[in-house]
Amino acid sequence: MRLQLLAKDIQSGEKNCPGVSDDLDGDEFVLVGPTVDLSLVDNVLPGEGAVRIKREVVIEAVQKYLAAR
């Protein structure tokens, strides 16, 4: 899996978390952020997780992804 960082929280400084990366070898995004208590999320399947990430970071990532296409 090769990941290309698309966007990150500007408050993270030199770190890339929370952030959104594009999986260059697949058709998915990878999100990194603080984990969420799975008892608060509906329909989580085995092996899945949930993270918190600011809306602005996701929007920036999608805009960069679409502009590169």
Q: Domain-by-domain residue ranges, the chain? A: 3-68
What is the rounded CA–CA span in Å between residue 59 and residue 34? 18
Q: Residue 62 CA to chain centroid, in angstroms?
A: 10
The whole-number pLDDT of residue 69 equals: 84
The whole-number pLDDT of residue 13 equals: 82
Q: Is the pLDDT of residue 12 over 90?
A: no
Span 15-28, average pLDDT? 94
Split at pLDDT 50, 70, 90, the class of 16 is confident
Q: What is the pTM of this model?
A: 0.87
Task: Provide the 10 A C-beta neighbour count for residue 14.
Answer: 5
Find the length of the chain. 69
Q: What's the whole-number average pLDDT of the chain?
A: 94
Q: What residues are paired with 1 via a beta bridge?
A: none
Phi then psi dihedrals of residue 23, to 5 deg = -80, 100
